[in-house]
Structure 1
Amino acid sequence: MRIAILGHVRQRIAQPFAGGMESHCWHLAAGLQDRGHDVVLFASGDSDPRFPIDPVVEQHYERTFPWAEHRGSAPLIAHLDAGYAAACDRIAAGGFDVVHNNSLHRFALEPARTMVTPTVTSLHVPPYDALHWFVRSSRSPHHRLTVTSARQHDAWWPEGAPAEASILHNGIDPARWPFHAEGDGTAAWCGRITPNKGPHFAVQAARRAGIGLTLCGPIEDPEYFEAEVAPLLGSDIRYAGHLEGDALARAIGQASVFLFTPCWDEPFGLVAVEAMSCGLPVAAFAMGAAREIVGEAGAYAECGDVAGLADAISAALAIPRDVPRQRVLSHFTHDLWLDRCEALYAEARRGDDRMAA
């Protein structure tokens, strides 16, 4: 198939990944290419040149508009609207069999567009006002909607989801996150360093549990890092930087337990799955989809409960390392995910009118 992948343009689709959405989009493009599909990545022009790129904007928007997050800036909205309008027009004229929309932009959801190019839209975030109405009005026979967890399925459609919506768990390549039979007695944490990811809670709980901790990931909120995380660093707590590829897998895989501390309605938790593939049991805040994704491979505390998280670290360390690895192999592999994507593409192209169901 000739497939357009429409990405979010806040960050580059390239390693080291800024977050789960960028990782998802990169591995989707790479996986579909490996399966023989003709893939064009519609993303920022500074994304990974290994892919054929049709730029939505010339460079990711946090370089052009350096804010920590989208805050309703009129110039930024106009910039993104112009880029996505032109990109969607090029997709419509480009002879694509299907578009996999990961953009979180309203234009790709319009029924007039999905009737021209069959579309699968993956929603990687909880419902929010700027997108919620457009998702609800996007129903068409050639459009499929996915969310990453049952938790998000219920959040987007508390009254009951439409027939064309389904759960599409993210998947990873276990070979990129190899199993380690033993850990070194320390803990690991990985993610965007920002308050809603809770790394300061991970540090506090590790100290309380008497275990060393390595933090990895991009510093998205420098003020938060300097105020809440940096003062806690020391010989037992270290920040290893924003690592990529094999270096990140080694840093995570050598640890004995992974700390997962979402302080928001986490839609999935890709970093936890990557750590589980390496054999790490998880001590987690029970927020968002954490229990659903980690399951029997973890122990849990309520969000913000440092003492409870320290207890969860002790409980997680007692879980055999083959338990998290097997959970990944059974539920969250790259091949399972890509199989499901291809099935959704076929549904969208057929145009099954399931809306009457």
Structure 2
Amino acid sequence: MRIALLAHLRHPIAPPFAGGLESYTWHLAEGLSTRGHDVVLFASGDSDPRFARDPVIPVHQEARFPGLEHRGDAGLRAHLDGGYAAACDGIAAGGFDVLHNNSLSRLPLEPRRLAATPTVTSLHVPPYDALRWFVHASAVPGHRITATSAALLRDWWPEGPPPGASVLHNGIDPAAWPFVAQGDGSAVWCARLAAVKGAHHAIAAARRAGLALTLFGPIEEPDYWAERIAPSLGGAIRYGGHLAGPDLAAEIGRASVFLFTPCWDEPFGLAAVEAMACGLPVAGFARGAAAEVVGEAGRLVRCGDDDALAASLGEALAIPRTVPRARVLRLFTRDLWLDRCEALYAQHLIPSET
């Protein structure tokens, strides 16, 4: 198939990944290409050059409009709309069999654009006012809509999803997150260092439980870092930086438990799945899709309760490391995910072939 992948533009689609959405899009491009599809990545121009790219904007938005995401900035909005409009026009004229839309833009959802190119739209964020109406209005025959979890699908359609909307769990390559039979007794946390990811709760719980903790991830909110995280570092609490691929997998694999502390309705929880693949049980907050992802591989408590989170660390540590690994292999592998993506694309092609 000839497949267009339309990305979110806040960060480049390149490792080390700024977050789960960037990782998702990169691995989708890599996986589909490996399976022999003709893939073109529509993303920022500073995304990974190993892919065939069609730049939507020259550089990712944070490079030109730092810190303005969700601020309603008119300049940023015009910049993104101009890029996405041109990209959608290029996709419509490009002879693609299908567009997999992973952007957070309303423009690919316009009726004339859905009519021009068979489209699969994957939802990666909870519903918010700037996008909600456009997604709901786009739920028309022929437009396939996916959510990364059943919890996220319920958030978008509390009364039940429309036809053509379904769950598409993320998947990882288990070989990239090797199983380690025994940890060193420490805890690990990995995500964007932003308030909604709750690293300050992980620090508080680790201290109460008497565990060493290492934090990994990009510093997305400098004020949050300076006020809530940096003053807490030292001794058993350390920051390990923002690592890519094998280096991050090695650091996570040597720990004994993963702290997962979303302070928003987490749409999936890719970092938790990666840690589970290494054999780490999870202690965390029951927000969003956390229970759906973690299941029997961890212990979850009410969001914001640091004492309960500290207690859950001991309970999680008692879970055999084979349990989280087995859950990943059963539910969240890259091959399962890519199989489901290809099946969604094929649903668009069947009418034209019969």
Are residue 266 (structure 1) and residue 270 (structure 2) matched?
no
Report the secondary structure of 1:40's partner residue.
strand
Cα distance in structure 2, aligned partners of 1:27 and 1:279: 21
Cα distance in structure 2, aligned partners of 1:255 and 1:16: 20
Q: Report the equivalent of 2:100.
A: 100
Matches within 5 A, 1:123-138: 123-138=123-138
Task: Give, in angstroms, the shift of residue 304 of structure 1.
Answer: 0.8
Cα distance in structure 2, aligned partners of 1:273 and 1:177: 10
| Offset from partner CA, 1:9-35 (integer Å, 9 cap, x none) | 000000010000000000000000000
CA contact (8 A) 1:68 1:221 kept: no
Q: Provide closer, same or farther for how the CA distance between residues 68 and 188 of structure 1 changes in structure 2, counting only shifts above 3 A.
A: farther
Report the secondary structure of 1:162's partner residue.
coil
Task: Give, in angstroms, the shift of residue 351 of structure 1.
Answer: 5.4
Q: Report the equivalent of 2:320.
A: 320
Q: Which amino acid aligns with 1:182?
A: Q
Cα distance in structure 2, aligned partners of 1:288 and 1:349: 33
Are residue 119 (structure 1) and residue 119 (structure 2) matched?
yes
Q: Which amino acid aligns with 2:127?
A: P
Are residue 88 (structure 1) and residue 88 (structure 2) matched?
yes
Report the secondary structure of 2:295's partner residue.
helix
Q: Which amino acid aligns with 1:136?
A: H
Using the size of structure 1 for normalisation, the TM-score is 0.97
Cα distance in structure 2, aligned partners of 1:2 and 1:332: 25
Report the secondary structure of 1:100's partner residue.
strand
Which sections of structure 2, spanning at least 5 residues, go unmatched? none
Q: Provide closer, same or farther for how the CA distance between residues 62 and 351 of structure 1 changes in structure 2, counting only shifts above 3 A.
A: farther
Report the secondary structure of 2:13's partner residue.
coil
Q: Report the equivalent of 1:217.
A: 217
Q: Which amino acid aligns with 1:269?
A: G
CA contact (8 A) 2:142 2:164 kept: no
Q: Which amino acid aligns with 2:246?
A: D
Task: Give, in angstroms, the shift of residue 350 of structure 1.
Answer: 3.5
Report the secondary structure of 2:116's partner residue.
coil
Cα distance in structure 2, aligned partners of 1:139 and 1:261: 32
Cα distance in structure 2, aligned partners of 1:111 and 1:54: 23
Q: Which amino acid aligns with 1:350?
A: I
Are residue 251 (structure 1) and residue 251 (structure 2) matched?
yes
Q: Which amino acid aligns with 2:32?
A: L
Q: Report the equivalent of 1:9.
A: 9
Which sections of structure 1, spanning at least 5 residues, go unmatched? 353-357
Task: Give, in angstroms, the shift of residue 71 of structure 1.
Answer: 1.1
Task: Give, in angstroms, the shift of residue 69 of structure 1.
Answer: 2.4
Report the secondary structure of 2:54's partner residue.
strand
| Offset from partner CA, 1:192-219 (integer Å, 9 cap, x none) | 0011100010011001000000100000
Q: Report the equivalent of 1:48.
A: 48
CA contact (8 A) 1:120 1:348 kept: no
CA contact (8 A) 1:115 1:141 kept: no
| Offset from partner CA, 1:182-241 (integer Å, 9 cap, x none) | 000000000000111000100110010000001000000111111111111112011000
How many residues are treated as equivalent by the alignment? 352
Q: Report the equivalent of 1:161.
A: 161
Q: Provide closer, same or farther for how the CA distance between residues 8 and 326 of structure 1 changes in structure 2, counting only shifts above 3 A.
A: same
CA RMSD of aligned residues (A): 1.0
Higher mean alpha-carbon deviation, 106-115 vs 27-36, is at 106-115
Are residue 345 (structure 1) and residue 350 (structure 2) matched?
no
**Percent sequence identity over aligned pairs:** 67
Matches within 5 A, 1:194-213: 194-213=194-213
Q: Which amino acid aligns with 1:328?
A: V
Q: Report the equivalent of 1:139.
A: 139
Q: Which amino acid aligns with 1:42?
A: F
Q: Report the equivalent of 1:355.
A: none
Using the size of structure 2 for normalisation, the TM-score is 0.98
Q: Report the equivalent of 1:302.
A: 302
Q: Report the equivalent of 1:187.
A: 187
Cα distance in structure 2, aligned partners of 1:126 and 1:311: 29
